[in-house]
Structure formats: C-alpha cells, structure tokens
Structure 1
Amino acid sequence: MTEPQRYTIAGLEAFLESALLAGGADVPSANAAIRAMMHASIIGVDSHGVRLLPYYLGVLASGEVNGHPQIEVSHGAGSTAVLDADGAIGHYACYRAMEVAVDIARGQGVGAVTIKHMSHMGAAGAYAKWAAEQGFIGMLVANSDAAVRLFDGRDAFHGTSPIAIGAPVPGQRPWLMDMATSAIPQNRVLLYRSLGLTLPQNVAVDEKGLHTTDPHAARTLSPVGGEQGYKGAALAGLVEILSSPLTGMSLSTELVPMYGKPSTGAPRDMGGFALAINPAAFIGTEVYGAIITRYLANIRAAVPAEGATGQPMAPGDREWKVEDERRVKGVPVDPDSEKAFAELAEKYGLTLPAKA
C-alpha cells in the first residue's frame, strides 16, 4: 500500500474554495461542497471527500452541474415540501433540503422534503449529522446511476443508494449511520486503485459477473449482505422509491453515469429525500436525551466476543475517533488526488494546500 501524504485541514479548505470558485461555482455552492467534502475526509470517508474535487470541477465545466442555481422550495400539504435544486451541486441541494425539513419539523414535529434536479452529493451523513447537531433526528437518501447488481443479478441496476440517519445525543457527538446499500461504494473502488489495495471478498464482480478482488477488474458492485444480499437490494429499492417515483426524477438505470464517459453537459436530474423528526414533538427532550444516552452507554459497555479486534461501538464512534486523530495529524490524500491537485493548481493558478 502507498502511504498517503497528509495535509492540513485549513490548507485543504482554502484549496477547495479557490478551485471551486475558479471552476465556476458560486459562493453558496462552493461553501456547501467544501463542508460536505471536508466532513467526509475528516471522519475517514476518504472515498467521498476531497478526492472528488476534480470530478466536481469537470461537471461544473461541462454544464452538467449548474454552478449558479436558483433553488426553489414549494411547500405542500401538512409538513411536506418540494425542493427544486435547478441542477445544483448535490451538497448545496441536500444541505438546503435538510434545513427546510428541520424548519418544518420545528413547528410541525416532522418535516419531509423531496429533492428534484440535483447531482452527486458526496457523503449523505453530512446532512443527517447537521440535523442531529440542531437537535433533530435527520435522514437523507438519494439515488444515483446504476452501479450495483441485484441479488443473483449480473448487471448494474441500482445506484449505491446511500441511507444516512443522525440522532442527537446530549453533550455528545451524534449517533450517525451512513451506509451505502452496496457492499462497498463505487468511489472506494477508485480509491483502492489509487492506493494499490485489494478489494475485500465478494463486494464486486467483473464483466462476466464473477467475484473479483482486483479493483481494476471490478465492473459492478454487489448489494450489501453477502449471501443475504437480497436485503441490501431491498434497501436500495426503498431508496429508489423515495428518490425517483416520489420526486418524479429518473430511475437509477436512466441516470447519466457519473464515471466512464466524458460529461455531455446533460443534467443528471437525480432525486433525493430529506426527513427531520423533532423529538420534542413526541416526548420530552429530557426523557429522549436520558434514554438515548443510556442506550449508547450500553452499547459501549457491551462485552466483546472472543477473538474480537475491538470494543463494540455505536454508529459514528469509529468516525469520531478518526476525526480526533486527523484534526491533530492532518488529512491523508491519495497519490492520484495529489497528482490531480497539482494539475488543477497549474490550470487555475492556485496555491497547493499545506502539508501537515
């Protein structure tokens, strides 16, 4: 494995900002993308972090992503709303949708927002985490172009179809689940190629539909669940229903591919769904806080199985540990991304980020 160089958080943020603005994003779009990419890189979700900067600049340049969107929100019946992202970069669309959902839930108890005409939004956990930090249970799902086979299928059918849920915990960082419904995210396959790593067993198949651990031979991802992969495929179906039929956007099999072809400039028209739940609308916040605090304490006090490599953890615990370490030591950047950053710096006349 190639050991990646580490960079300072401030240096990466400054480089992302200068590159996105130079590449055609307006300030709100750039700020949202920086927040979401740095969220992923700081907590160790490197596949969805700063390494995606060249991709976003490419689709901004082609017109596939609208760098100056006019986002519109239409409030519907009860506690619902529809957000038309106008082709915005997905980070901007999803942060805005979660803000609307939280605002509705503050008064109505629950806020549900569908998202139309958006693009790739990185790590879905960024938006669920933000809702939890406001004191709300937040959920964000979105479909994407087909990259994952059905259980017993050969060809790509669903997207990686992420599900992210964050829950507030008094005095602590949130309970945070952020998972693809594929066995491994597509962007992690690309990261493994850059780092020279072998894929885990049974997470991807080659062009013949045979399992492979070679990231260069991987063509289609498998649904999460292994021998019970029908569960992962069903969860992907749930994401598809909330992201396509409910929003009027394209199915995963109909979306413009993220990779593999030069961008045509055609909008991706992805759909998504944001949900916010106000615990105070159902039970006193003190009761909620006491129970969820006790729940997490019970998880962390659970007895490890014989031969286990660590202590049982709540969703998010691993990420918070990585965050603490990276805020001190810096964020690692893989070799392919370092090369791409150097090319971008030369193209736009930018200063490369400072090394940690």
Structure 2
Amino acid sequence: MSEATTTPQKLYPIPAPRLQEFVQSVLTANGVSPQNAQITASCLVQADLRGVDTHGSNRIPSYMERIRQGVLDASADPTLSQTTPVVALVDGHNGFGFPAAHMGMARAIEMAREFGIGMMSVKHSNHFGMSAWLVQQAIDAGMMSLVFTNSSPALPVWGGREKLMGVSPIACGAPAGKSKPFILDMAPSVAARGKIYKALRRGEKIPTDWALDSEGKQTDDPAKALEGVMLPMGGPKGSALAIMMDLFSGVLSGSAFAGNVTGPYDPSKPADVGHFLVAIKPDLFMGLDEFKERMDYLYQRVVGSEKAAGVERIYFPGEIEQDMKEERLQNGIPLSEAEIEALNKEANRAGVDPLKVT
C-alpha cells in the first residue's frame, strides 16, 4: 500500500466476545429484537475475525444513522413465503439484511436436505456485510452454496463514466473432509469499496489502480476516490459480473436495480437491496465420503502446486481469512482509536457500556 497521508493510528485489540456483546447491546438499545441483534452482531464480528474489517463492527455508526433517519426499520422481522418445493422468497421489510439473509439461507439448507437444492430470493433488504458468513452458514450445515447480492452504484459499466453498478460480491463455497473448505468471497472491482472507507478512517492512501476521482483521473486519496468511481477488475469482465449480480439479486427479486439501490452511508431513503442464495447438497452425484475425498485432493493439489518465483505459500480460497480468524480469536480484533471513538459515540447515545481499551 502507498505511504500514509498521516501517521497511521494505533490499533487496540478487542476480544471477539466483548465486541459481539457490545454490538448486540447497541443494536437492541436502538430497537432491534434480541434475536435479530444476535444474528447481526455475530455476522459483523465474523467479518472482523476474518480480517474483513471493512464489513465488520465499524459499520454500526452508519447503520444507526439510517435508523435515526427513518430509512431502516430496526424493529422489522423478515417473512418467508414458499414458491415451489425448492424455491422460496424472503421479504426483509426494510429491516437489517443479516436476519433476512440468515432466514433465506436457513430455508435454502432445509430444502436442499430434502430435495437436493434450495433457491432463495430476498427482497426489500439492506446491506448484509460480508458474504462469507452466509457461505459459512451453509458449510456448517454440510452444504455447497452460491451467495449473490446487489448494492449501491459505485462502478461504471465498461466504457461508461457514471456510477451505475454496485461493487457487489460474488461468493460461493463447499465443505471438505480433512482440509479447509472452499470459501470464495470477492468483489467484481479491483478492490472492495469498504477498503477505501477504511483507508479514509485510518488516514491512509490507497493504490492508484483502485479508483478514479470525479475528473476521471487516478488517485491515491480515498476521499477523492469516494467522489469518483471504482474500477472493475479485468475491465469488461468485472463490469459484466457486476451486471450479473444486479440481474440475479435485483431484477429477479423485485428489489431495486440498475443504479437505484441506496448506499449504506446514504440516509436519504431505504436501500431496497436484493439477494440471491442457493444451497446444494454435495452428495447428489456420489457418496458424501467420496465428495469430501475429492475436495481434499483438490485442496492438496492447489496448495502443493509448484510456486512461482518469490512465492512462499499458495493458499486455497478463503484460507487466509480462516487463518486470520484463528489468530484474532487468540489475540483480539484490532480497532483504531477513531473506530473505537465512533463506536463509543453510539454507545453513549444508546446508554450502553462503552468499549474500553488498555
């Protein structure tokens, strides 16, 4: 990464159980039901543990602002309607995206157990953070999965200059036997937009190939990047993937699409995000033991392949984040002073105990 615009802030390790308890207490104090608060807090802290700090607990201030502005219904509960034996729909009713998506994946898993596959569409939802937690929900149930969502405009279509498509993650996963599972969670842009917000909070510069400023020029300033557009990975390929996310998540679900999703940092109106979730039983075409053996073989072939010059280790998709989770469970989740101050400001507003650092 480029040299920082200011001296990087000191990071303070917060134990994961304490951070989850804190986030949950802020949510319930703002009108979220205990069950929905537990799901939301758990998903946010899972992101922090995996090193996806951009989609973790630091999102709380923006979420709470949306509640205060009346564009996110803290008390809403998602509802489910069955369409066919293997297809169902969740309506998020403009509540938090986490419980709506959690309900969707849970039902997809139930259908997959009985019929081999379960497909869910989720409408009228909100930001659900890191997609990998939904993939993990499926893996914990022994299922393969696909997880799509759309999001607010940040990316131009290839050849365009205006924000139109979201930096919407593509995620999927599969359980394994003795090896680590496959967990893919990636944005169709060169970098996730949350990384730019993180750099802004921490006084850091960004690589110049991440985004363009409002004049269409490369920039290492995160503030200018947020005024401009993100750049798609692989040019037209990343642009096409972003359109695909909008099709399956927005067009199909009945939620906003084609540049009409409202961003999580925009308190002007409901987000109306859509999601698309699929759970697949992995032993549809062979025994489960054989499937797991084949997954373990794939893992060993990938991580044991010949390394390019200068490469010390080859990782399976999701393995770096899983290693990070193990490290942070032991040593705590690092938060900057500015991030802790922002969280404690919400704690003060909510009348709950603040995060304390030593």
Cα distance, 1:70 vs. partner? 3.4
User: 2:3 maps to which residue?
Assistant: none
Cα distance, 1:47 vs. partner? 0.3
User: 2:290 maps to which residue?
Assistant: 287
Question: Partners in 1 of 2:346 and 2:256 — Cα distance?
Answer: 32
Question: Partners in 2 of 1:335 and 1:355 — Cα distance?
Answer: 9
Cα distance, 1:134 vs. partner? 0.8
Cα distance, 1:127 vs. partner? 0.4
Cα distance, 1:63 vs. partner? 2.6
Amino acid at match of 1:233: S
Q: Judge conservation of contact 2:78–2:99 (CA < 8 Å) in 1.
A: no
Q: Aligned ranges for residues 138-287 of structure 1 at < 5 Å?
A: 138-218=145-225, 219-225=227-233, 228-259=234-265, 261=266, 263-264=267-268, 266-287=269-290
Cα distance, 1:354 vs. partner? 4.5
Amino acid at match of 1:246: L
| Pair 1:198–1:212, CA change in 2 (3 A) | same
Amino acid at match of 2:172: I
User: 1:317 maps to which residue?
Assistant: 319
Q: Judge conservation of contact 1:6–1:333 (CA < 8 Å) in 2.
A: yes
Q: How many percent identity over aligned positions?
A: 26
Give TM-score scaled by structure 1 length.
Answer: 0.94
User: 2:329 maps to which residue?
Assistant: 327
Question: Partners in 2 of 1:74 and 1:49 — Cα distance?
Answer: 30
Q: Judge conservation of contact 2:215–2:228 (CA < 8 Å) in 1.
A: no
User: 2:35 maps to which residue?
Assistant: 28
Residue 123 of structure 2 aligns to a residue in which SS?
strand
Cα distance, 1:207 vs. partner? 0.3
Residue 217 of structure 1 aligns to a residue in which SS?
helix
Give TM-score scaled by structure 2 length.
Answer: 0.93
Question: Partners in 1 of 2:285 and 2:231 — Cα distance?
Answer: 35
Q: Judge conservation of contact 2:162–2:229 (CA < 8 Å) in 1.
A: no
Q: Judge conservation of contact 2:104–2:120 (CA < 8 Å) in 1.
A: yes
Can you list the C-alpha shifts for 1:292-315, whole angstroms capped at 9, x where unaligned? 01100111112220122x311101
Question: Partners in 2 of 1:348 and 1:222 — Cα distance?
Answer: 35
Question: Partners in 2 of 1:331 and 1:172 — Cα distance?
Answer: 25
Match of 1:48 among 43, 51, 55: 55
Cα distance, 1:172 vs. partner? 4.4
Cα distance, 1:348 vs. partner? 2.2
Amino acid at match of 2:309: E
Amino acid at match of 1:170: G
User: 1:342 maps to which residue?
Assistant: 344
Residue 207 of structure 1 aligns to a residue in which SS?
coil
Deviates more, 1:98-107 or 1:216-225: 216-225
Q: Judge conservation of contact 2:212–2:231 (CA < 8 Å) in 1.
A: no
User: 1:5 maps to which residue?
Assistant: 12
Can you list the C-alpha shifts for 1:262-296, whole angstroms capped at 9, x where unaligned? x23x3221111000000122221011100001100
Structure 1 stretches lacking a partner, 5+ long = none
Cα distance, 1:78 vs. partner? 4.2
Question: Partners in 1 of 2:210 and 2:183 — Cα distance?
Answer: 23
Give the number of equivalent residue pairs. Answer: 350
The root-mean-square deviation of aligned C-alpha atoms, in Å, is 1.6
Amino acid at match of 1:275: V
Q: Judge conservation of contact 1:24–1:60 (CA < 8 Å) in 2.
A: no
Can you list the C-alpha shifts for 1:72-125, whole angstroms capped at 9, x where unaligned? 211113411111111120111111110011111111111100001100110011
Residue 144 of structure 1 aligns to a residue in which SS?
coil
Residue 76 of structure 1 aligns to a residue in which SS?
strand
Cα distance, 1:52 vs. partner? 0.4
Q: Judge conservation of contact 1:131–1:138 (CA < 8 Å) in 2.
A: yes
Cα distance, 1:349 vs. partner? 2.4
Question: Partners in 1 of 2:61 and 2:258 — Cα distance?
Answer: 23
Deviates more, 1:346-355 or 1:14-23: 346-355
Q: Judge conservation of contact 2:63–2:264 (CA < 8 Å) in 1.
A: no
